[in-house]
Each structure stands twice: as C-alpha cells, then as structure tokens.
Amino acid sequence: MSEHPILVGFDGTDAAHRAVKFAGIRAEAEGCPIHIAYILEWSPYSFLSAQELEERHQRRSEELVRAESTLNPALEILKNKNIKVTYEVRYGHSGELMCKIAKEQQATQIIIGRKGGSALGARLLGSLALTLVQAAPLPVTVVP
C-alpha cells in the first residue's frame, strides 16, 4: 500500500470521466489514493482596466464554483471504492500545473483522458497529453 497518489487530470468531459474510472481501478489494485486536479486555463499576463479586472475577478469566482460542481460526478464515481480521494482546482497552464502538482503530491503517475476521436486526433494525442508525455517527471497514462 502506498500513500503516494495517482494524479488524475479532470475537466468534466467524457474523456475525463473515463480517466477517473480507470484511475479508480488502478488505485484499488495498487492500494493508493487518488488526487484529482481540475485546472482552469488562466493567464495572469493581461492588461486590464479596473472595470475589466473586476469583471474578470467575478468570472473567476463563478468558474471556481462551476468547477467544484463539475467535480461532483467524478467524486461520485469513486465514492464506493475503498480509496482516499482528494482534489483541487487551480488556475494556470494545464501541462505546467499538472507537472507541478505531481511533484507536490509525490504522485506515482498521471492519468488523463484522450478527447480526440478522429484519426488525426489519435495521432496527435492532444496538446495536454503531448505536453505531459514530453515534460512530466513520472509515467503518464492516456485513457482512450
């Protein structure tokens, strides 16, 4: 049994739900926890007026609430399994943050879902998958 989690990237899509289900099976088999990361793309490098900044802050608060509710089905998938599940919502670049969270959590692997259904999408994997496969400091599993 390991206290180091499997890190799952989640965004509410069908692909992300498949990744959560797969991670649940792996976590049960390995006897380890799951940590779910929901990352909202957000660039701090924008020049905004005071009004735009206030509107952006309001949108950010709304996005956080929406992200929390989007996580509920993922947590529901895992609730009947005998595993510890934690989660977090962060703003930033998905690839960079997934690598950072993996290090912070001392994760054993990263699991994400593949969204692309086309032949081209399957060849290219997707930008997050490609970034993680190239940059992650640990194994990455891409669930079809």
Is residue 15 in a domain?
yes
Q: Which residue has the tokens 């990237």?
A: 9
The token pair at 84 is 């510890």
**DSSP category for residue 5:** P
pLDDT in tens, 9-53: 999 999 999 999 999 999 999 999 999 999 987 665 566 677 776
Is residue 1 situated within a structural domain? no
Element (H, E) at 78: helix 50-78
- The CATH number covering residue 10 comes to 3.40.50.620
Question: What is the edge-to-edge ordering of all strands in the sheet holding 6-9?
Answer: 85-91, 34-40, 6-9, 109-113, 140-143
> Coil, strand, or helix at residue 49?
coil
Range of the domain at 107: 6-143
At 18, list the tokens.
């498949």
pLDDT digits over 84-132, tens only? 999 999 988 899 999 999 999 999 999 999 876 555 554 455 688 888 9
Number of domains in the chain: 1
